[in-house]
Structure 1
Amino acid sequence: MKKLILIPLLFGVFMLNVASTCSNDDDSSSSNNPSITDVNNNVVNGTWQVTLFSESGSTQTSNFSGYNFNFATNGTLTAVNGNTTMTGTWSTGTDDSTPKMYIIFNVSNGSFEEISEDWRILSNSSSKIELKHISGGDGSIDLLTFEKS
């Protein structure tokens, strides 16, 4: 009889040990689940450059060559290339639990209009932010990557 009680007791102890060694580690700073707070903290530190802009499969990174992007804590976004300065705004939030970065430049045409979108945050680190936009019209995919200069 003691052996019959001991087997379920040992099984229970074993299961507790397995449960305590396994963890559901939800690291919000990982590239698979970027934290809005981490993005906000990272992006306002330093100067950034566009290292990839792909619109519908067409790489157009060179349109931003020489521009240094600064994301201010008050939501102001500036892109400076010599004597040329583009101004806009940025913010972050979630849409259907998806972390997003919203970039808006005050222009009506050109490359800066093309990056004025709601971007899904794919990955985030202190030196690189990768973004993706899926067009609601035709489903085309745009990619935008900022890296700290």
Structure 2
Amino acid sequence: MKTSILKLTTVLLFMIFVSCENNNDDDVLDNISAAQVTELTGIAASGSWTITYYFDDKDETDHFNGYAFTFNTDGTLVATNGTTDINGTWSISDSDDDGDDDSPDDSDVDFNIAFSAPADFADLTDDWDIVKYSAVRIELIDESGGNGGTDKLIFEKN
């Protein structure tokens, strides 16, 4: 009887492990359609956003406290804290077109952000993979080239 219980427990634990491993929240969206790109572009450009989580080797969310990010339809990106404006650019593009996507989990669509300065904002410059999005939240990841770690960036609508 104890052997049967032990075998059953082992099987159940294995099933739980496999199930958890296959339901990773950080999986990028695969096969994003042109309609989804249009939808996400409209969502991003529909108001201001706050960075609620930024991880690059460690949690660096506090570097962006007090800043609101506006993704303008002309491709400009402005981060403002009421007294300082930091200008950048953004786009959503098919990575096959620009050839610079280095993610092995390539969704073929990138959420591109570019700031030249200051350093904290320049760290956001990347071709981010889209994990998921809604009308009020955009989740992005990027696999770092050098150390193989995964950076994570989450915007939430103000």
Distance 1:136 1:98 in 2: 18
Tell me what 1:112 maps to.
121
Tell me what 1:147 maps to.
156
Aligned partner of residue 59 in structure 1, secondary structure:
coil
User: TM-score, normalized by length of structure 1?
Assistant: 0.73
User: TM-score, normalized by length of structure 2?
Assistant: 0.69
Distance 1:42 1:81 in 2: 21
Deviation at 1:138, TM superposition (A): 2.1
Distance 2:107 2:48 in 1: 28
Deviation at 1:124, TM superposition (A): 1.0
Distance 2:54 2:37 in 1: 22
Deviation at 1:32, TM superposition (A): 4.0
Distance 1:77 1:142 in 2: 20
Deviation at 1:98, TM superposition (A): 2.6
Structure 2 residue runs without a partner (length 5+): 1-27, 96-105
Higher strand share: 1
Larger radius of gyration: 1
Distance 2:79 2:63 in 1: 12
Distance 1:143 1:37 in 2: 23
Count of residue pairs brought into register by the alignment: 117
Tell me what 2:136 maps to.
127
Q: Cα deviations across residues 110-132 of structure 1 (Å, max 9, x unaligned)?
A: 21011111100111111000000
Distance 1:97 1:69 in 2: 24
Structure 1 residue runs without a partner (length 5+): 1-30
1:129 maps to a residue whose letter is I
Distance 1:119 1:137 in 2: 16
